[in-house]
Amino acid sequence: MGPPLSLVTLKHWSLPLIIAILALLVYGLAEPQSAALRYQRDALQAGEWWRLWSGHWVHLGGIHLLLNLAGLALIWLLVGHAVSIRTWLWFIPINTLAISLSMLTWLPDLAWYVGLSGLLHGMLLLGAVWIWRRGQSEGMWWLLLLLCKLGWELWQGGSRSSTAYLGGEVISEAHFYGALWAGLHALVLVAWQWWKQARRG
């Protein structure tokens, strides 16, 4: 007899729950503390390196936070099962670091950035690639939809209505960087698995 369904469900959702709790805790901080955590170019150049990771957990406001958490829940529902928890635990800090370093290198005019959306795009791409790799066609469709969304955003830029609604500018490049580095991460994982199988063979 296996474990109760509730325990299986809780275990499956434990990682997004931890992410949500962390984001909520950061949201509950006073303005000076949260400002000390956001991605901020001049502060990073002054040596405040923790902002490379912590900035992704800060949000513009309650609406921004709720939209990101809703996106997290949807992405986890769609692709969370496709990748092992161990892989997600490696992927999340690496992807957020890569997004921040990309912004620092390629967006010199971007003074500051907050939010989980770059990471969420990366998570969706990695999960979609893994599902497609297993021969499930829905992974291909999610990947195509994501690539179309990214292409549209880079062409048109952030939506003005979203900017007014969220209280800040939508940084479409962060979405692109999250997906770009997730794609490279997926290639590394595929190459690693192929190499292990070749050694066994």
Answer yes or no: is pLDDT of 176 > 70. Answer: yes
**β-bridge mates for residue 91, sequence order:** none
In tens, the pLDDT along 73-127 reads 999 999 999 999 999 999 999 999 999 999 999 999 999 999 999 999 999 999 9
Pick from 6-10, 42-46, 160-164: least confident: 160-164
What is the three-class DSSP state of 80?
helix
Q: Determine contact, residues 130/75, Cβ cutoff 8 Å.
A: no
In tens, the pLDDT along 13-66 reads 999 999 999 999 999 999 999 999 999 999 999 999 999 999 999 999 999 999
**What domains lie within the chain, and their CATH numbers?**
5-200 (1.20.1540.10)
Encoding tokens for residue 146?
């994501």
Strand (E) or helix (H) holding 156: helix 137-156
- In the predicted model, what is the mean pLDDT of residues 173-201? 90
Q: Which amino acid is at 18?
A: I
Q: Determine contact, residues 123/91, Cβ cutoff 8 Å.
A: yes
Encoding tokens for residue 129?
């690639």
